[in-house]
Structure 1
Amino acid sequence: MNKARKEQLERFTELLHLHPFSDWRLLDQALTHSSYTNEDKTHHSLHNERLEFLGDAVLDMVVGEYLYRRYPDMPEGKLTRARASVVSEEPLACACAAFHMGDYLLLGRGEVRTGGRTRNSIMADAFEAVVGAIYMDASYSAAREFILTQLDKYLQLVDKGVYGKDYKTYFQELLQRDGTQDIHYHLCHEEGPDHNKTFFMEVVVNGVTMGTGSGKTKKSAEQHAAYAALEKMDALSF
């Protein structure tokens, strides 16, 4: 690992308030996509798929344990749906976007050109790989702290009974409690080349813009707009 990469990884841990790694190669591996190792055989780098496998198991355990203790009367079926809502691709990718994980990923040139640094599937896999790296380098406790901190807002949604639903559905159900509302999503504009567009959407209720959001797909942008509207309504906090 060269000096520039080591400094980049140190900035990443400082950004997330993580303890310095004992073995920086683990974090380097967690932030290396298979496309990078497939394109550049000279670096002999390990990609993050094995750590992703491990991190996925740790993630399920941490969130499952948290929900089990938090909701002693919740039946198994609801616990399963609640856990799935927290550890699914969208929450993991959104957590990564909040601290710009894509900036620290080693990706193949093809993935970079096609928007891999913001692709939900790549971000979610990297999140799981980082969990695996923290677990291997430090402890289950350290991995647990990272997970619960990064996914706190999604765990709060479970407290409100919002699981197994997306933000658009929750937003609509919340507003319809007061009767029929005119809710629609409008594309404001889009940026970027055809292979790597970013869409900007707004959610409009009875002619009033309630929230705006962006994403690599229109559906993702709509979800972010609904989330922004829920935040504006203070419907996501205690």
Structure 2
Amino acid sequence: MSKFKALEKALNYQFRRDDLITEALTHKSYKKPYNNERLEFLGDAVLDLIVGEYLFNKFPKENEGLLSKIRASLVNEKGFAKLALDINLGKCLLISSAEENNCGRTKPSLLSNAFEAIIGAIYLESDLQTASRVAVDLIEDGYETIDLNSLSKDFKTTLQELTQAEFGETPTYKMVRAFGPDHKKEFEISIELQHKVIATAIGRSKKEAQQKSAEIALKKLQGVE
């Protein structure tokens, strides 16, 4: 049984080669004969193609300029670090004690690189179609809406970056309740930071409630309210 079972479940993909997933999660600081830099290089190219094709099919009437802007909002360190945080990738990283003490498990650069390496490993072990399925599912689960306007207002990612920088940890989202009839259900989500509830919001979906609560938390932490 793979020691990365929780990660494989989050990816909805089971690795056949333990050495490949181990390499994808190994940072160069871990002092092994291998690290994830080569797989990161491959994954970067694969993700660029996957996201390009995804947007090409999703927006058949949009021009090249807008598609490029949307892709740029997804294919970058911030975007990949967000997806990595969504699947708790940081917990699986193989890093040195120095990186551990330097909040390496929540560092955007390490998370982004490991995410690219994981997709590169899936592509290498299976095929482009499988890697695309995994990546696109994570993107669609991670964003309420895929368009330039919504991507520029991703409060969850901004909150994660702020709390990492100021507190060395990321916020925890918890379901408070779900209520209303099935055809018109609403969800209440709270955000906890340092064992305290810092924001609560209601939305028509869990993702919407998370974004709303993240926006409220950001305003509080930035002293806007």
- After TM superposition, the score normalised by the length of structure 2 is 0.67
Question: d(CA) in 1 for partners of 2:136 and 2:52?
Answer: 11
> 5+ residue gaps in structure 2?
172-188, 195-208, 217-225
Aligned positions of 1:1-150 closer than 5 A: 7-19=2-14, 21-37=15-31, 43-44=32-33, 46-150=34-138
Cα distance, 1:191 vs. partner? 9.8
Question: d(CA) in 1 for partners of 2:170 and 2:4?
Answer: 30
* Aligned 8 A contact 1:86 1:155 in 2: no
- After TM superposition, the score normalised by the length of structure 1 is 0.64
Aligned positions of 1:147-166 closer than 5 A: 147-153=135-141, 156-159=144-147, 161-163=149-151, 165-166=152-153
Distance 1:59 1:79, change over 3 A: same
Q: How many residues align?
A: 179
Amino acid in the other structure paired with 1:104: C
Bigger radius of gyration among the two? 1
Question: d(CA) in 1 for partners of 2:49 and 2:170?
Answer: 35
Aligned positions of 1:193-204 closer than 5 A: 197-198=168-169
| Equivalent residue in structure 1 for 2:154, among 151, 167, 171 | 167
Cα distance, 1:214 vs. partner? 5.9
What's the Cα RMSD here?
Answer: 3.4
Question: d(CA) in 2 for partners of 1:34 and 1:142?
Answer: 27
Identity of aligned residues (%): 31
Cα distance, 1:102 vs. partner? 1.2
> 5+ residue gaps in structure 1?
1-5, 38-42, 169-184, 201-209, 216-225, 234-238
Distance 1:139 1:211, change over 3 A: same
Cα distance, 1:70 vs. partner? 1.5
